[in-house]
Amino acid sequence: MKPKILVLCLLRLGDIVLATPVLRGLREKHPGTEIHVLINGQFAQIRELIPYVDKVHVFERDELQRGLGEAKRGLFEPYERLRALVARLESERYGRIVNLTQNRLSGYLAQSIQGPEKIGLALGADGMAAFNSPWFRYLNAQADEDGERVFHYTDVFRFALGLQDGPRRPSLQESEAGRAEADALLRPGRKCLLVQPLTSDVKKDWGLDRFAEMARLFAAGHPEFEILLLGAPAERARLEPVAAALSAQGVRARLAICSLAGVYSLLLRAHGLVTGDTSIKHLACAAGVPLVELSLGSSDYRRTGAYLQNSVIIQARELCAPCPHSKACHRDRHACAERIPPAAVAMAISETIAGNRHQLRVIAEEFADDLEILRVEVEESGFWAAHSVLEPFTEAGVARWLWMSGRKIHLEEERAKPLGGWGELGTEAVRLEHLLRRVYPSATPADWAHLLDALERQAAMVEARLGGFEAGLKSLYGSYEDPERLRAFVKTLIAFREKLKPAPALAAPRSSLDRLIDDGLAPPFVRFRRIVDAIQELRATTDIEIRLIRSLRDRMETVA
């Protein structure tokens, strides 16, 4: 019998599409292994677009929830359904179970299904979590990380499973039914811009009036284009008046109400897309269509942004964005949508389609008070990166990219320890150099020498102080339950944190110290163990960053 791998992906449609690089990567890495995936039943239509999965299992979450909430259902019916699902999956005899979903339900399922190897969250009967991967452990704590220094979910999944050299962007196949839908909707010989005006979350909606104005402005400068308004059948009534109003103004605009497969086929043939919808955005990345993503409400581009080189992300300059998924907007108006003018989006998609990435800077400067324009970089860095097209050349900015590379190397070394270590600092330095030259194209060798010297001095200061903390921790072994001694040590952490505050480039170690200092409610042993682990990790990543800085300084001495 062939070996089998089960992948749990129990969130929304966009999350399933986001997981396709992992599914394809597992197929390429394990060609003789069956790849199975467990998804929520309401998204079963995605199976026809994923060619490298041998079997799709369906979890009827809606049915389970109805069973728990409807009085006419038997009391134990939901539990019997769940037990039957686990038994059916166990009968497959999986050698590896991978949980890409970080919630309690998936954690308990991953633990319940018998298998010799489990990667990702698995929750025992006592509620204790096991991850079996430093990358998934990092993902569990990622919500507490500083917003600018987090890894994209796709990269976390890839690195956790040893697929760093595998596919990165979403990967799907076209279906015959989808191709037929697209061919019926498109006009031969006419260019097409797709617009997705509605989302499943009102907080992510930009507003139909703004989409209509953006379409009108774009059409005025591109009469050769036709604009198709994408929508599901249930959205027809809301979108028909928009299409009719645009047509009345002389804009070539029509509705495109179609299936998921039809949308993907349209994206394969389109010349551009504007959307705030997560699922359609990830489909567009698989299709490779020029894309402008509107990051509104709870949409967090840093973790789930478009994974496609040179995609464009627009976000309003509102401090409350991104907001939590589970809560309604707390403001009396949709400020993050109101701050993005239709003219800015129309110009951005025009330049994105034309490939004029330098013109995005002009647009960003014109609307700098209201929004930020970011460009996606994935080809140079080895991980997903998005930077402001107006990003200034500062110590803090460069330190962010150094931290990302250093943290990646550290987590990869942890993952690869049983294999004898990873040790690809030289390769990472080359990737980082290429990324930094794209982010800061105007910086000269003299600029780089001055900035990197300053960053090395700061990092060396941090490394020396962390060495002192490690020595101090050794004296605490065996006496950490003494509240006075532990409190005295924490005071030294507080003093060091205050010393770091004037240096924006040291935000990462300062953030780590914040979490240790604020952890006052944990039992003494737990708090002591967390302090030891955090200091050791900071020391390791700081050492990696210093070596990266030295390698970069040599490489940046010449003009690219």
Q: Predicted confidence band at 419 (pLDDT cuts at 50, 70, 90)?
A: very low
Q: Decide if domain 176-377 falls under CATH 3.40.50.2000.
A: yes
Over the stretch 239-279, which tens digit does the pLDDT of each residue have? Answer: 999 999 999 999 999 999 999 999 999 999 999 999 999 89
The pLDDT, as a whole number, for residue 392 is 95
What is 4-160's CATH topology? Answer: Rossmann fold (3.40.50)
Asked if the model's pLDDT at residue 144 lies above 70, the reply is: no
Q: Predicted confidence band at 65 (pLDDT cuts at 50, 70, 90)?
A: low
| Same fold across 4-160 and 176-377 | yes
Task: Using CB atoms within 10 Å of the CB of residue 499, give its burial: 0 to 12 exposed, 13 to 18 middle, 19+ buried.
Answer: middle
Query: What is the token pair recorded at 481?
Result: 């339950």
The pLDDT, as a whole number, for residue 147 is 63
Which of 50-54, 479-483, 528-532 shows the lowest per-residue confidence on average (mean pLDDT)? Answer: 479-483
Domain ranges, ordered by start, for the chain: 4-160, 176-377, 394-560
Over the stretch 301-336, which tens digit does the pLDDT of each residue have? Answer: 999 999 999 999 999 998 888 887 777 888 878 889
| Phi then psi dihedrals of residue 316, to 5 deg | -70, 150
Which of 46-50, 146-150, 151-155 shows the lowest per-residue confidence on average (mean pLDDT)? Answer: 146-150
Q: Predicted confidence band at 141 (pLDDT cuts at 50, 70, 90)?
A: confident
Token pair 């259902």 is at which residue?
73
Is the Cβ–Cβ distance between 329 and 354 less than 8 Å? no
The pLDDT, as a whole number, for residue 560 is 58
Question: Across the chain, what does the average pLDDT equal?
Answer: 89
The pLDDT, as a whole number, for residue 501 is 87
Q: Measure CA of the first residue to CA of the last residue in the chain; give whole Å.
A: 54
Closest CA to 138 of 125, 155, 162: 155
> E strand or H helix at 536, and its extent?
helix 524-555
Asked if the model's pLDDT at residue 66 lies above 80, the reply is: no
The pLDDT, as a whole number, for residue 189 is 85
The pLDDT, as a whole number, for residue 143 is 60
Q: Predicted confidence band at 25 (pLDDT cuts at 50, 70, 90)?
A: very high
Which position has the higher pLDDT, 365 or 482? 365
Q: Is the pTM of this model over 0.85?
A: yes
For residues 299 and 282, what is the distance between their CA atoms, to the nearest angstrom? Answer: 13
Strand arrangement, sheet containing 34-40? 55-59, 34-40, 4-8, 96-99, 117-119
